[in-house]
Structure 1
Amino acid sequence: MTIYAAVFRIGGRTPVMSVPLDPRMTDQMRDVRRDLHAHPELSGAEFRTTTLVADRLAAAGLAPTVLPGGTGLVCDLTPAGAAPGERPVTALRADLDALPLPDVKDVPYRSTVPDACHACGHDLHTAVLLGAGLVLAELRDTGALPRPVRLVFQPAEEAMWGARAAIEAGALDGVGRAVALHADPRLDVGRVGLRAGAITGAADFVLVRLTGPGGHTARPHLTADLVHALGVVATQTPALLARRFDPRAGLRLVWGRVAAGSAANAIPSGGELAGTVRCLDTATWDAAPDLLTGIVVALAEQHGVTAEVEVTRGVPPCVNDADVVDDLRVALTTEFGVDAVVATEQSLGGEDFAWFTRSVPGALVRLGTRGPGAPATDLHTSTFDVDEGALEVGIRTLVAVATAPVGEGA
């Protein structure tokens, strides 16, 4: 496919067009995105999605390799004449999985799978990376690809094990840097958001079980008042934990479930709290589980009950490398113009691309998906959708990232 220029206007001005894009490519990837949206697959079950992507890449003369387990794949593009390891490999990553939510939108591509929905933009991410891969394949065939590139289509981001599985399977072997895009419904289409340092937070799951002898509510002095103890642990632990760390770490413990008892006049013998711990600092993430456990155990002991704490590790903070961000800023400003590249905020939401940036220098880039005048619909909701103008911007972003000079950031 010949790559033709397509004018895309941002903020009323025409940006620089260093990577012209055939309008047919955008149309094809729109169809891919809608197909994926209509046929979402949950974490670890992305078989149809993997096959669709692999077939498209193979048809372009590429050789994708499906990851162990049959979901997710990697695909290398190497310039003609390049020796192995001659130049740093850039990995471009997209996630494939959907969420276990109903799709309530009234659109032609509404999910056909009950209680499964692309409510986080992974269908967009996949279509963007596929489109970028096809453009890069043509650049390779014409001798215009400057360095090796690896496409990583990763499963199970929402389940928070997909990135580690891909890395264990060799997805980052030989890679010098890694870049991913994520849909941002608060950012207008045509804009991309950059930030050095932590951009998303660590996310761990916490389960606290309290146990006591139980008894009659008429005689709490003869037993341990477990519900009161549960309330103390629930209300005091977040504040006590936060005060053990630098406020700039952004640590937050928030409970999502409290359960105890079944009768109004019986003090129960057991109760549970479940929630999440999030933070923006890697050292804080490393230290938080032990401190959290100590605080809960001490509070429980003061009220005559015992505590068991389970912390299930999710993901660390996603920390963008400053040098990579500098290079991206130069590349994307050249591609789209100064007005299109904006500073983006930190989020305490978890993102398993953090395992990539923990392994190699990298950056998560925010891709604007809000259409003109449209309200912002939050991620992980059954009404979430994107303005498909983001497809062209996303493809051009990844092509620019893969082809721009490395190490020339300001």
Structure 2
Amino acid sequence: MTQPTVSEFVNDWFDTHRSEIIGWRRHIHSHPETSNQEFETTNYLAKILGEYGVEAQRFPETGLMVDIGPDTEEGRIAFRADIDALPVQEVTGLEYSSQTPGVSHSCGHDVHTTIALGVACAVADYNREFPLSIGVRVIFQPAEEVWVGGATDVIEWGALEGVHSIYAVHVEPKLRVGRIGLRAGAITSATDIVEIDIKGPGGHTSRPHLSADVIYAMSKVVTDLPALLSRRVDPRTGTVLVFGTINSGYAPNAIPQTGSISGTLRTADIGIWREISGIFQELVEQVLAPTGVKHELTYHRGVPPVLNDDVATALIASAAKAIDPQSIVQAPQSSGGEDFSWYLEHVPGSMVRLGCWSGDGDMHDLHQGDLVVDERAIGVGIKLFSSVISQFMTAIEEEATKS
């Protein structure tokens, strides 16, 4: 018998186990758990993995990872899935809808988790028949949806030790199922939160010259800061400041004593992200100085942009072409944040967009309770990851031949 590649084996394996895998996804979808509360999800994953003879290494609270194949000097190839859900009420009406009021997998993490679970089980079956020449690690990460993401904890717990490179997918409801969106460099943005509390003595609106006008000062911040940033930061970096809350006042004829503003500051440039807090603080002080108010700025550092490595992205592009040469599209750069970026601060890797729109009806959006994912995307994701493993093995073998 000719030894099949991992990709060939997993393709056949998926066809055999398709109904079972869809069942996994629907169970996870109907039993969502929010960040750091994924206890039953973790238990369910460990149970399925155990049925396929895969021993799970649990993280301290929730989440787990598995290693398949040998430890080699080249290092393991890793895949990451996020397992948490959002505090969003599902309104899809699906027969397997969320059974937890106010919580749903409206970001598609149930799909990511099922893909990773399928890869782990399929590769474990392959490894028993045809021992792998390289090691594979599958990471089921908790708490992607909270600030600053569970990835930092997972890395601290050793998930990247001995890892050569890491890959992930994120469902994209604006992309037809079967399509795979690739992008080298920044595919998401850094996302920080800014909060500004402003104080003054208060007073009567008929005598603003005897007070410090908190409302006027807040208005200056909201209107002037975005414009000033565009003159201090290269506009090609996709740096955007948008305020989401502004609160102050209690009467039309009274100047209030306090006010607060908060918003997000996003950038696709990691160099800008590393220095933007200082620039922002300087501009806030300059805008508010003439108004006479006092202020307190709280700058919450979020996640850096996901910077897809050129070589890793080329590898996953080759993997996608091996499945379907017509599958690849150019993914746009997103202003959203994603904690997969923390992994790429340590090892090279790439995240791709996985089409999940059926092609019929309305396109839904992420983080909305009406999100419906075409389940055919699961098979695409499993086959993509298995093709990445095959491509990686081929690259390692070719490198060994050269040396």
Q: TM-score range, shorter-chain basis?
A: over 0.9
1:358 matched to 2:345: yes
User: Is 1:323–1:407's contact at 8 Å kept on the other side of the alignment?
Assistant: no
In the TM superposition, 1:2-401 aligns within 5 A as 19-69=11-61, 71-78=62-69, 82=70, 84-143=71-130, 145-159=132-146, 160-336=148-324, 338-401=325-388
Instruction: Name which of structure 1's ranges 29-38 and 318-327 shifts more when overlaid on structure 2.
Output: 29-38
Distance 1:18 1:47 in 2: 29
| Count of residue pairs the alignment pairs up | 391
Q: Deviations over 1:4-41 (max 9, x none)?
A: 9xxxxxxxxxxx99833433422212111111111110
Deviation, 1:244, is 1.1
Distance 2:386 2:32 in 1: 26
2:42 is matched by which residue type in structure 1? T
TM-score normalised by the chain length of structure 1:
0.92
Distance 2:392 2:12 in 1: 18
1:402 counterpart (375, 389, 392): 389
Moved over 4 A (4+): 406-409
Distance 1:137 1:75 in 2: 10
Distance 2:359 2:239 in 1: 35
**CA RMSD in angstroms, aligned pairs only:** 1.9
Deviation, 1:144, is 5.0
2:293 is matched by which residue type in structure 1? V
2:145 is matched by which residue type in structure 1? E
Deviation, 1:373, is 2.1
Q: 1:252 to 1:406 in 2, by over 3 A?
A: farther
Deviation, 1:408, is 5.0
TM-score normalised by the chain length of structure 2:
0.93
Instruction: Name which of structure 1's ranges 237-246 and 281-290 shifts more when overlaid on structure 2.
Output: 237-246
The structure with more helix, counted as a fraction of residues: 2
Distance 2:81 2:342 in 1: 14
Deviation, 1:353, is 0.2
Q: 1:407 to 1:308 in 2, by over 3 A?
A: farther
Q: Deviations over 1:56-85 (max 9, x none)?
A: 11111111111012x01011001xxx4x33
Distance 2:85 2:110 in 1: 8
What percent identity do the matched residue pairs reach? 40
Q: 1:140 to 1:408 in 2, by over 3 A?
A: closer
User: Is 1:26–1:391's contact at 8 Å kept on the other side of the alignment?
Assistant: no
User: Is 1:19–1:335's contact at 8 Å kept on the other side of the alignment?
Assistant: no
User: Is 1:327–1:407's contact at 8 Å kept on the other side of the alignment?
Assistant: no
